[in-house]
Amino acid sequence: MADNKDKNEIRLIKYREYLIRKPEKAFGYYCIAKYYIDKGNFDMGKKYISLAIGKNPGYMPSILTLLDMYIQNSKYIKAVKIYEKYKSRLEAKKVYGIKINRSITSLYKKINSRSLSRLQAYWSFRKLLGKDDENLIVNLLACMHSLEKGQTNNEAMGMYKKYLYTRGINDNMRWELLKILGRYEPSIYTNKKIILLFDSIPDDCSSGYANNIFKEVFKAQNFKIGEFMRQIDKKGLIIASSNLWKYVYWCSQTKNFDKLLYKCCKRLLNAGWVDKLIAQTIIELTGMGIAAPSEKELKALELYGYLVNP
């Protein structure tokens, strides 16, 4: 704990030294703002972010951080106004939209209802004044609110479909969007484009869909193959033997040897799936001290012509 405190203090000292050397640069103010935001001091965070934007109004990390800070603190109207002010810049690159999507949808099932009511009143008043511009923050919050209420009218369903295919959406929210749309279009569960948009296994994901995700992630050779399998295992989901074998193969290629790999080998062995890859992996894990095959498992391997020296 003390080491972390010392490292944080050293960070702040370095940032302040940078400001002294380059007071005209927005980067130093931005770094100090991030330091205070990470510490939970949003007043100081806002102060330094404002200074960063003052130094360079085009420095996008500062604008995105200010937006995120307002969103996380339920200052929805302020976030909407910031988006309106910098809309052309925020829409200039897809990566900015993805970052904003992640920030807003991190609030899925945690929306501040009072702040949302104020935003709804504010946006309705704008429309009365004839201002009807598209605003990503307003639209996403409206979608999340409709989803949480279980609304299935045409307007809501249109929003659900739009954001189901949008990058940066919270995986638990995307799963809920998929389930509600899947009631009317079951084939959507096998849509590969949607499957590959998941960055993790949703909290209440079904075993069947978790297998779909892993299968497509493996095909794409996503660097998160190991992380997806760890999540599936942690959630206690049933993984298909074919996917277990793919994971064992991936581990053998990447030299990723651990207890989860042995667990997958055991499941395959118990299911009667034994081949050279599984046997050699168990032999290798045993030699490393990671695996400790039971007498039953040793006999099964021997039955298939493989010997393990425990």
pLDDT in tens, 182-238: 999 999 999 999 999 999 999 999 999 999 999 999 999 878 899 999 999 999 999
Handedness of CA 17, 18, 23, 27 (dihedral sign): negative
Categorize the per-residue pLDDT at 5 as very low, low, confident or very high, splitting at 50, 70 and 90: low
- DSSP secondary structure letter of residue 73: T
Categorize the per-residue pLDDT at 9 as very low, low, confident or very high, splitting at 50, 70 and 90: confident
Given a cut of 80, whether residue 272 has pLDDT beyond it is yes
Given a cut of 70, whether residue 281 has pLDDT beyond it is yes
Given a cut of 90, whether residue 132 has pLDDT beyond it is no
Measured CA to CA in angstroms, residue 220 lies from 27, 75, 139, 170 at distances of 36, 39, 31, 21
Amino acid at the residue 11: R
144 alpha carbon, distance to own chain's centre: 17
Q: What is the pLDDT of residue 122?
A: 85
Q: What is the pLDDT of residue 129?
A: 57
Measured CA to CA in angstroms, residue 276 lies from 34, 76, 246, 256, 288 at distances of 52, 58, 14, 18, 18
Categorize the per-residue pLDDT at 20 as very low, low, confident or very high, splitting at 50, 70 and 90: very high
Q: Is 62 exposed, middle or buried (0-12, 13-18, 19+ CB in 10 A)?
A: buried
Q: What is the mean pLDDT of residues 22-49?
A: 93
Amino acid at the residue 256: N
Amino acid at the residue 36: Y
Output the pTM of the full model: 0.88
Q: What is the pLDDT of residue 1?
A: 45
Categorize the per-residue pLDDT at 87 as very low, low, confident or very high, splitting at 50, 70 and 90: very high
d(CA 181, CA 177): 6
Rounded percentage of the chain residues whose pLDDT exceeds 90:
75
SS3 readout for 115-130: HHHHHHHHHHHHHHCC
**Domain residue extents for the chain:** 93-199, 205-310
Given a cut of 90, whether residue 298 has pLDDT beyond it is no
Of 116-120, 296-300, 303-307, least confident by mean pLDDT is: 303-307
- Chain-wide mean pLDDT for the chain? 91
